[in-house]
Structure 1
Amino acid sequence: MDHVLNIADDYIFTPYVYPASWPEDGALRQIISLWVLTSLGAQLIYLGFGALSFYYVFDHKLVKHPHFIENQVRKEIHLATASIFWMSFPTVALFFWEVRGHSKLYDSVSDSSLGWPGVLLSVAGFLFFTDMCIYWIHRSMHHKNIYKYLHKQHHIFKIPTPFASHAFHPLDGFLQSLPYHIYPFIFPLHKVVYLSLFVFVNIWTISIHDGENCIPAPLICLINGAAHHVDHHLFFNYNYGQYFTLWDRLGGSYRHPSDRPLIDEHKPAKLRTM
């Protein structure tokens, strides 16, 4: 995140925002700047890619589904934007700790003991680690003593649109994002790769809520896509995974995506009562 902060300082904050008496490496200034960048950046990714997915990928016939609620898109956006605002505060604490040099992020490929193979391995490690952690965090959110206080807000959207991707209770959303942020404090990771993965996971989260199954048939048993996640919203206690189906299979919660169309006005989907 320090690369983004440095660019913002050079072109925006130092010449136009902060007084000269505020040094760029001052803690208070860095915290304020990181909060602005985190909150604004997350909102732009969510609204920008969410809108592209909604208008060009999402099947708008789904709004006729009997479980698509009134004013749903407006409710999704309202909940998501509020959640991103509040989630930014604890996220900035982690970014600040990172900018202060307490993570294992590095600047150059030469800093990796394995070079480019090490960079590629770190990407695989990031995906495996975060997928594993998010599976168990997500599944714990469905525990009866937790669900009604946190995760239920996300599940009011049984037929989600891409705008439901970030529509969580703020604490729920932060806890499910936590693995992304703690990974570079445990394992080495290139700074640019980290930023790229941060954008990727946000886009992936949007994509699994767009209702459009783009996973090739041979990979549908391995990769958790929109078809899996729509069934998660419809049937509640299946397909908790983020990218892959591995942990759902190991945890006994895997459900192969429904073969029947989502829209069947004569035979609406039978849902679990919550």
Structure 2
Amino acid sequence: MDLVLNVADYYFFTPYIYPATWPEDDIFRQTISLLIVTNIGAYILYFFCATLSYYFVYDHALMKHPQFLKNQVSREIKFTVQALPWMSVPTVALFLLELRGYSKLYDDIGEFPSGWFQLIVSVISFLFFTDMLIYWIHRGLHHRLVYKHVHKPHHIWKIPTPFASHAFHPLDGFLQSLPYHIYPFIFPLHKVVYLGLYILVNIWTISIHDENGCKNEKIFNGELTKTE
């Protein structure tokens, strides 16, 4: 995330927003900047990708289904807009730890003897690690003691559209993103790869809420959600 913050500081925050006397490495300034960048980035990615998916991929015939709610699209968007800032708070805390040098993120491929091979292996490892943990987190969120309080709001949308992709309870949304953030604290990962994978993961989250993704999700929910 320091790559994004450096660009934001150079082109926006330093010349136009913050006093020249406020150091760029001040932790309070970094926290504010990360909150701004993370939220703006999340909204842009969400609206851009969900809109494309909604108009060019999503099967609008699904909106005639009896379980499709009245004004559902606007409700999904409203839910997401309200939830994203709360999801960003713990996310920014982890970004801040990365920024302060507590993670194993690196920016020089030459730091490792195996170089590019290490980078390729880290991508495969990242995908395996995050997919495995998200499965178990998602399964845990369907536990009867947790489901109705945290995860059920996401399943209000029985026939979801891509705009439901980020319509989570804030704790639910953060927990399901947690594996992506804790990976670089355990394993080395290139900063550009981490940023790219983080963006792709959010695009993937939107893509699984088109009609094909919905079918797979319903199979999962039908097996685990006994308390609806």
TM-score, L = length of structure 1: 0.80
Matched with 1:247 is none
Higher RCO, Cα 8 Å, sep 6+ = 2
Deviation sequence 1:128-176 (CA, Å, 0-9, x none): 0001110111001111110110100001111111011111000011011
Matched with 1:125 is 125
Percent identical among aligned pairs is 61
2:216 & 2:8 partners in 1: Cα distance?
Answer: 39
Find the residue that maps to 2:23 and give its secondary structure: coil
Matched with 1:58 is 58
Deviation sequence 1:179-201 (CA, Å, 0-9, x none): 00000000000000000000000
Quote how far apart the aligned CAs of 1:3 are.
Answer: 0.5
Asked if residue 228 in structure 1 is aligned to residue 216 in structure 2, the reply is yes
Find the residue that maps to 1:110 and give its secondary structure: helix
- RMSD (CA atoms): 1.4
Quote how far apart the aligned CAs of 1:237 are.
Answer: 2.1
Matched with 2:88 is 88
Uncovered stretches (5+) of structure 1, i.e. residues with no partner: 214-224, 239-271
Matched with 1:237 is 224
8 Å Cα contact 1:62-1:159 kept in structure 2: yes
Quote how far apart the aligned CAs of 1:232 are.
Answer: 3.5
1:230 & 1:18 partners in 2: Cα distance?
Answer: 48
1:143 & 1:134 partners in 2: Cα distance?
Answer: 14
Matched with 1:263 is none
Alpha carbons of structure 1 residues 207 and 186: separation in structure 2 relative to 1, 3 Å: same
1:164 & 1:149 partners in 2: Cα distance?
Answer: 18
Matched with 1:219 is none
1:145 & 1:206 partners in 2: Cα distance?
Answer: 27
Alpha carbons of structure 1 residues 226 and 111: separation in structure 2 relative to 1, 3 Å: farther
- Code of the residue aligned with 1:18 in structure 2: it is Y
Find the residue that maps to 1:150 and give its secondary structure: helix
Aligned length: 228
Q: How does 1:31-50 map to 2 (within 5 A)?
A: 31-50=31-50
- Code of the residue aligned with 2:92 in structure 1: it is V
Greater shift, 70-79 or 106-115, is seen at 106-115
8 Å Cα contact 1:209-1:230 kept in structure 2: no
Quote how far apart the aligned CAs of 1:231 are.
Answer: 3.3
Deviation sequence 1:66-123 (CA, Å, 0-9, x none): 1111111111111112111101111110000000111000002112332111111101
Matched with 2:149 is 149
2:223 & 2:118 partners in 1: Cα distance?
Answer: 38
- Code of the residue aligned with 2:219 in structure 1: it is D
Matched with 2:209 is 209
Quote how far apart the aligned CAs of 1:8 are.
Answer: 0.4
Quote how far apart the aligned CAs of 1:273 are.
Answer: 6.5
Deviation sequence 1:28-77 (CA, Å, 0-9, x none): 10000001001110111111101110011101000001111111111111
Structure with more of its chain in helix, by fraction: 2
Alpha carbons of structure 1 residues 175 and 228: separation in structure 2 relative to 1, 3 Å: same
- Code of the residue aligned with 2:220 in structure 1: it is H
1:5 & 1:204 partners in 2: Cα distance?
Answer: 24
2:23 & 2:98 partners in 1: Cα distance?
Answer: 18
Matched with 1:196 is 196
2:22 & 2:176 partners in 1: Cα distance?
Answer: 35
1:186 & 1:116 partners in 2: Cα distance?
Answer: 19
1:126 & 1:43 partners in 2: Cα distance?
Answer: 25
Deviation sequence 1:195-233 (CA, Å, 0-9, x none): 00000000000000011x3xxxxxxxxxxx554124335
1:17 & 1:95 partners in 2: Cα distance?
Answer: 21
- Code of the residue aligned with 1:149 in structure 2: it is H
